[in-house]
Structure 1
Amino acid sequence: MIDPNEPHEIQIAKQAKIIEALINRAERAHEVGGSAYSLFESAIALQGKVWEKTKDLERALDTLGRASSELEIAYQTQERIQRNLADAMVAMEGGFALFSEDRLQVCNAQFRELLPDIEPLIRPGLEFDDYLAAVNTSKYLNPDENGVIGRTQLLMPGRPGRRFSSFVMVLRNDRWFQFSCRLTSSGNIAVLQTEVTDIVRENRREKNRLIDQQAHFLQAAFDHMSLGICTFSSRSELLIHNERFGELLGVPLPLLKKGTRFQRIVEHVERHEILDRKDRRSDFAGWFRAIRRNETVQERFRRRDGISLDIRIRSLPDDGFIVSVMDVTAETQAAALLEQRVQERTAELMEANRLLQIHADEQRKIEAALRQAKEAAEAAHTSKTRFLAAASHDLLQPINAAKLYLSMLTERVGEPAANEVVSRLNRSFTSIESLLQALLDISRLDSSGAEFNITSFDLGSLLQGVAEDLAPLATEKGIDLRIVPSTRWVTSDKRYLMRCIQNLVVNAIQYTERGRVLVGCRLSRNRVRIEVWDTGIGISQEDQTRIFNEFTRAGGAGKSTGMGLGLSIVERACRHLDHPVRLISQPGRGSVFSVEVPMAVPGHASACENPVMEPIADGGLDLIVMLVENDADELDAMTQILESWGASVLAASSTAEAAALMQEIGTAPDILLADYQLDSGDNGIETIRTLRALAGAEIPAVIISANRQRDFVRLGDEMSFAVLAKPVQPVRLRALIDWKTRARVA
């Protein structure tokens, strides 16, 4: 019922109320009680409770007594602290005041007496802002030196966490006080006024001493300078000068005393004609206008005795100006000498420039002649390339027809002597064909627009094709030709790579009298190195540097070893394809040629690639073949070969004639063989499109042409026709017809 934490007065009051209530209850119980025993029992119980409360009251009174003693001690301590604070404030040399909750609590006499006109206001309870306002209006402050003092200036110094700031107040009687303000942790404001007049005056004296010392040093520096120096005030009165100034301008020392005006010095120089100004007067007003604009005035004069002077006038920060005079005689003479040399050198350069101009004109004429010669050479080269490209078809046409006729003649001639003649003719035409193909390849590779069809393909099938093509040549010479099978895929132009390997193998066979030729592959990181080994005559070190040139053969080679174009084609093609070619050879031991080709990820061969050629199948060719060829001899020869195989041939010389024949027989042919280049702008591609459109079906087709451009091969893939290169080999033609017609039947 009684909280021991409550004040003792409250606890005693509650206990008194409890006792009074218990007494009243006892009296009422006596009035209405039934028996003496119950009254006695109640009195005993009441007496026990009274004793307990009495003990509690005694303990409370004891606690209250101790608290009173502690409070008395605290009062005494506070009074002692206040006396000590008062003694300390009296002993302080400066003024001190303490503001609590923005009101003045205590201050010393110095604080009140600093500004006599506001002393009546300084009493306990004075607002801090009112105090600052009174200070700002005090007549004892120097208004020129002090700004407005505000709360923001004192209590918000601008740096977080900083609780102290100070500034200096200047009184009218040249007294200086440092006004310090500190914000205590309890939110009180302590103000301290400290007189710093002695320090300020000492600083003034030290400053004046340093200025005098610097002036002495400056004068000493001026006196030791080779430059004439003189400074003037804002009123053009002389302040400092050195002896050199008077010597250079011929001004006497009495005139160079402190306070002499600048205009007097100028008038003295002009009156005595010390400077040779060539009838020009000094623009004294103009000089001063330039100085006021913070510009530098600079003029060069010549004394009567030949001395050259450079005079410069610059403005100073205090609106004064400084005049400097420099003897530039040596520089002037050097400049004159330099100018003379420059003039001489200029004349030499002008003469050299004239000669160079003549040489440049001659050079331009030579360059123009060379440019014309280059253009003529390029035009000739372009004309040669166009001629060879255009002539390839016409050159191959008769060779193709002759080889077809020889093929039929070989089958029909039975006499041995006639067979020998036909065989020789075949070899001659084969040599002509090889030479013509080599020349055409070199022409294509030398042209700026050489095209390559870069694809990924199986290297093993390419090597197998080389083996099948060159096996008869190796057998004829008695050379063991071996091809190591490979399953690698490479990235290159398949036709040019095959041509390069064929040329290397043919060279190896031609330069090997006995032994063998080995073709295989090695891995070199991410590339495949195709190597051709032979046991031939070898190549000397001297010949290895020129063996790749046109019409060049190794020393010791016989007359039947070709025209020396094969390796030239290999070098050109591999250079364009970025396939490094290497040669290792030792005379009498043999040679190793190698070509490095990028390795590719294995894939599937294109369905439009030429099939592996097989021997001519037995039995007749029971097909209707549409043959389109503009050359009459080749058309006749091809017709006879196809009819000899049992085919029914529809011969035409143009697309229109072929379409008319197909409409006449009322059915589409089984296969279409068309030359690419026909007459009057017609071509085999247009023939394929026209006949397939008339038939409403995709007729198997083969284009016979010498054109191997990339776009032409890509078009063959898109239109699903095969390409057979001229001159036509009957065995390849028959195999290609069988492959295309079997695919249609399937």
Structure 2
Amino acid sequence: MIDPDEPYKTQIAKQAKIIEALINRAERGHEVGGSAYSLFESAIALQTEVWEKTKDLEKALDTLGRASSELEIAYQAQERIQRNLADAMVAMEDGFALFSEERLQVCNAQFRHLLADVEPLIKPGLGFDDYLAAVNASKYLNRDDSGGISRPQPLVKDQGSGERFSSFVMELRNDRWFQISYRQTSSGNITVLQTEITDIVRENRREKNRLIDQQAHFLQAAFDHMSLGICTFSSRGELLVRNERFGELLGVPLSLLKKGSPFQRIIEHVERHEILEHKGRRSKFASWFKVMRRGETMQERCRRRDGMSLDIRTHSLPGDGFIVSIMDVTAETQAAALLEQRVQERTAELTEANRLLQIHAIEQIKIEAALRQAKEAAETAHTSKTRFLAAASHDLLQPINAAKLYLSMLTETAGQSGAEDVVGRLKRSFTSIETLLQALLDISRLDSPAAEFNITSFELGSLLQGLAGDLAPLATEKGIELRMVPSTRWVTSDQRYLMRCVQNLVVNAIQYTECGRVLVGCRLRGNRLRIEVWDTGIGISEEDQTRIFNEFTRAGGAGKGTGMGLGLSIVERACRHLDHPVRLVSQPNRGSVFSIEVPLAAPGRTSVCENPMMEQLLDGSLDLIVMVVENDADELHAMTQVLESWGASVLAAASTVEAAALMQEIGTAPDILLVDYQLDNGDNGIETIRTLRALAGIEIPAIIISANRQRQFLQLCNEMSFAVLTKPVQLVRLRALIDWKTRARSA
């Protein structure tokens, strides 16, 4: 019923009305009736309520009294603050104003009297923007050259406090300066402060002038101590600053070098007295002023009449002025002239040296031509040597081959024991000659830059078994055991040279072993195969192990008849070309182990054309027609006798033409062709085989006999499907090869 927010007087009046109403009700209750006790109870209850209301009323009156006292204190504090603010504003030397809701609330006299034409507007309620506009339009402000002043700026937010502020500086006509700053408080009011900074501005102006004067003094002192001649001019060409060196170098009197002297007068003096020359003619120094007015930079080197060289440069300065610098470059010019003279002298020397070099180059060309001719002569000689060796391999082995054929026949026909011994000695002698010639020819081929190798993949086991069969008689003759461990591995190498190397190692082992055995086997070493030859011979000392691979060198302690010392030399050369490492482990009187490492190859099909299985010399009759083509009469006769002794019918011819005529005469093709490769008059065995096969219309089996081991030759033989038999011919291999070729055709 009573709102506690209402004034205390209103609450007290309402409470009085309520009490009065309650008393009237109680009185009306007595009048209406009821027992005395009920009336008493009602009076007691009413009295209790009156007491409670009286207490509440007393509390309200007490609270109202305290509130009145606090309000009185607040009024007094506000009046005191206002008096203090007024006193502070009056005591302030600067103008101060407070804008609330962007309307002027209060200001001091300094703020009001700053600008006379703005003073009538300074009244409470003046808008903040109107105040700024009035200040900006005041006639008492000193305008700049453009007619404007430092404009008031909008309020900017302070990043630290979050309040907005701004300020600007204005100059009055009587050289007074004020800074007007205004800030927005946290309550949204704007305070404006007008601070006079005239003393600060004037002090800064005096300090600036002092610094300018001091800088000018320093600049002049620097100019005076410079070796350059320096002079600055204004945009109108009037002299500003110069040093004494400028007048000394330019040769101009001091009366023309006073401050404010025109640049044109100085130039006219220089031109009139012809003080400067430019490379033998008068300088165009007078035209520089026009160039400098265009803002360009100029440079010119001049010479005075006394011989002094000057380097004159001009540069533009801020404000359209320019600076002229003069440098004495006499020493530099003289040095340049001296350098130029030295360059000319050096050029003459270089020209002479170049002429001598050209003469030397011509002589060098002649020498190179002579060397080229000598090289061509050496290459021609080497080619001739190669052709000679190729011919020697044929011509030297030709009679040996015939002699071996005759010896074979003589061995078969000789019945007397004495004759058989003589034949055996003769055969061993020819074998030694053959071995020596083969070794010399092999070394010559391996030393040749054009040495060729026929690298193929083949099975090693069958070749080692064949080698063991060939060398078994030699081992038996010496009474030692030759054992070959079987192997089924395939390797990649030149088959002929590899087997020749292994053969040389086995022969050496047999020759240098008096008793015991020789073992040949293979060991795997990763992706390579090591072919090892073990013997129980005399062994090799450490000092001999480093030299036994040289030509005609034998190990110490070797007896006579143990070889010529070429076998290991061939092994070293061949394995070096084939990249097959050769190793030696040996101890004197205990034996030696030689090994050759070759790369492994994947198993494949054996090339029977190159490696037919050799068989023992057959005893049966060779019932075949054999065409023999050989240009050497003795060898042709010997081969014919051997073949006829085997039971064959022989057709002998000395050339392709004779062979073709002989085949046409008998009217049938022979069973096999046995042809020498190198024939007379440019003829060769390959053409013979082609011609006879073309005449017969069939592929006649053929064997070509040659010492040629070139790769192209062997590839051609393989393509034409005929076998190659090297000289000197071994009859065991010849008989087995003839039997294999004819059986292959029959099959």
Change (3 A) 1:228 1:392: same
* CA–CA separation in structure 2 for the residues paired with 1:573 and 1:565: 12
State the match for 1:744 in structure 2: 745
Q: Secondary structure at the match of 2:396?
A: helix
TM-fit CA distance, 1:682: 2.5
* CA–CA separation in structure 2 for the residues paired with 1:249 and 1:299: 13
State the match for 1:648 in structure 2: 649
1:440 and 2:448 equivalent? no
* CA–CA separation in structure 2 for the residues paired with 1:239 and 1:522: 105
* CA–CA separation in structure 2 for the residues paired with 1:309 and 1:573: 83
State the match for 2:431 in structure 1: 430
1:506 and 2:519 equivalent? no
TM-fit CA distance, 1:495: 1.0
Change (3 A) 1:423 1:266: farther
TM-fit CA distance, 1:537: 4.2
State the match for 1:388 in structure 2: 389
* CA–CA separation in structure 1 for the residues paired with 2:567 and 2:170: 111
Contact 2:299 2:311 in 1 (8 A): no
Deviation digits for residues 368-389 of structure 1 (CA, Å, limit 9, x no counterpart): 6555444433322221112111
Deviation digits for residues 45-79 of structure 1 (CA, Å, limit 9, x no counterpart): xxxxxxxxxxxxxxxxxxxxxxxxxxxxxxxxxxx
Change (3 A) 1:697 1:310: same
* CA–CA separation in structure 2 for the residues paired with 1:587 and 1:479: 19
Structure with max Cα Rg: 2
TM-fit CA distance, 1:310: 3.8
TM-fit CA distance, 1:594: 3.1
Contact 2:278 2:301 in 1 (8 A): no
Change (3 A) 1:298 1:627: same
Change (3 A) 1:319 1:496: farther
Letter paired with 1:577: L
TM-fit CA distance, 1:585: 4.3
* CA–CA separation in structure 1 for the residues paired with 2:216 and 2:151: 29
Change (3 A) 1:252 1:288: closer
* CA–CA separation in structure 2 for the residues paired with 1:675 and 1:431: 23
Equivalence map 1:642-681=2 (5 Å):
642-681=643-682
Letter paired with 1:649: V
Equivalence map 1:464-503=2 (5 Å):
464-503=465-504
Deviation digits for residues 29-55 of structure 1 (CA, Å, limit 9, x no counterpart): xxxxxxxxxxxxxxxxxxxxxxxxxxx
Letter paired with 1:297: Q
TM-fit CA distance, 1:649: 1.6
Change (3 A) 1:272 1:390: same
Q: Secondary structure at the match of 1:485?
A: coil
TM-fit CA distance, 1:722: 1.0
State the match for 1:138 in structure 2: none
Match of 2:301 among 299, 302, 308: 299
Deviation digits for residues 547-597 of structure 1 (CA, Å, limit 9, x no counterpart): 333333444444433333323322322232222334444555544433332
Change (3 A) 1:244 1:565: farther
State the match for 1:638 in structure 2: 639
* CA–CA separation in structure 2 for the residues paired with 1:288 and 1:446: 89
1:703 and 2:704 equivalent? yes
Contact 1:302 1:308 in 2 (8 A): yes
More off after superposition, 699-708 vs 547-556: 547-556
Q: Secondary structure at the match of 2:565?
A: coil
Letter paired with 1:419: E
What TM-score, normalized by structure 2, do the two folds share? 0.66
Contact 1:401 1:634 in 2 (8 A): yes
Change (3 A) 1:285 1:565: farther
Q: Which runs of 5+ in 2 are unaligned?
A: 1-98, 105-126, 135-144, 156-165, 172-177, 180-200
Letter paired with 1:723: V
Letter paired with 2:668: T
Contact 2:274 2:282 in 1 (8 A): no
Change (3 A) 1:436 1:315: farther
Q: Secondary structure at the match of 1:550?
A: coil
Letter paired with 2:600: M
State the match for 1:462 in structure 2: 463
Contact 1:521 1:528 in 2 (8 A): yes
Q: Secondary structure at the match of 2:674?
A: strand
Contact 2:551 2:569 in 1 (8 A): yes
Contact 2:278 2:302 in 1 (8 A): no
* CA–CA separation in structure 1 for the residues paired with 2:234 and 2:473: 116
Equivalence map 1:265-304=2 (5 Å):
265-266=266-267, 268=269, 280-284=281-285, 296-299=298-301, 301=303, 304=306
Change (3 A) 1:437 1:239: farther
Q: Secondary structure at the match of 2:443?
A: helix
Report the number of matched residues: 584
Identity %, equivalent residues: 78
Change (3 A) 1:336 1:645: same
1:561 and 2:593 equivalent? no
More off after superposition, 708-717 vs 290-299: 290-299
Change (3 A) 1:195 1:456: same
Contact 1:297 1:314 in 2 (8 A): no
Change (3 A) 1:435 1:265: farther
1:714 and 2:715 equivalent? yes
State the match for 1:732 in structure 2: 733
Deviation digits for residues 620-653 of structure 1 (CA, Å, limit 9, x no counterpart): 1122222222222111111111111111222222
Contact 1:504 1:532 in 2 (8 A): yes
* CA–CA separation in structure 1 for the residues paired with 2:473 and 2:437: 21
More off after superposition, 386-395 vs 210-219: 210-219
Letter paired with 1:281: R
State the match for 2:612 in structure 1: 611
State the match for 1:61 in structure 2: none
What TM-score, normalized by structure 1, do the two folds share? 0.66
* CA–CA separation in structure 1 for the residues paired with 2:287 and 2:576: 80
RMSD, matched Cα: 4.6
TM-fit CA distance, 1:728: 0.8
TM-fit CA distance, 1:394: 2.2
TM-fit CA distance, 1:734: 0.5
Change (3 A) 1:551 1:615: same
Deviation digits for residues 641-699 of structure 1 (CA, Å, limit 9, x no counterpart): 11111112222222233233333333322222111222233322222223323333222
* CA–CA separation in structure 2 for the residues paired with 1:240 and 1:90: 58
* CA–CA separation in structure 2 for the residues paired with 1:234 and 1:475: 124
Letter paired with 1:730: L
Q: Secondary structure at the match of 1:604?
A: coil
* CA–CA separation in structure 2 for the residues paired with 1:356 and 1:584: 60
More off after superposition, 690-699 vs 454-463: 690-699
Change (3 A) 1:262 1:501: farther
Change (3 A) 1:337 1:509: farther
Letter paired with 1:442: I
TM-fit CA distance, 1:356: 7.7
State the match for 2:549 in structure 1: 548
Letter paired with 1:633: D
Deviation digits for residues 497-523 of structure 1 (CA, Å, limit 9, x no counterpart): 112222233333334444443333333
Contact 1:287 1:297 in 2 (8 A): no
Contact 2:277 2:302 in 1 (8 A): no
Change (3 A) 1:527 1:329: farther
Contact 1:624 1:648 in 2 (8 A): yes
TM-fit CA distance, 1:619: 1.3
* CA–CA separation in structure 1 for the residues paired with 2:435 and 2:442: 10
TM-fit CA distance, 1:428: 1.7
Contact 2:454 2:494 in 1 (8 A): yes
Q: Secondary structure at the match of 2:664?
A: helix
* CA–CA separation in structure 2 for the residues paired with 1:89 and 1:370: 110
Q: Secondary structure at the match of 1:468?
A: helix
Contact 2:231 2:324 in 1 (8 A): yes
Change (3 A) 1:570 1:278: same
Contact 2:493 2:578 in 1 (8 A): yes
State the match for 2:582 in structure 1: 581
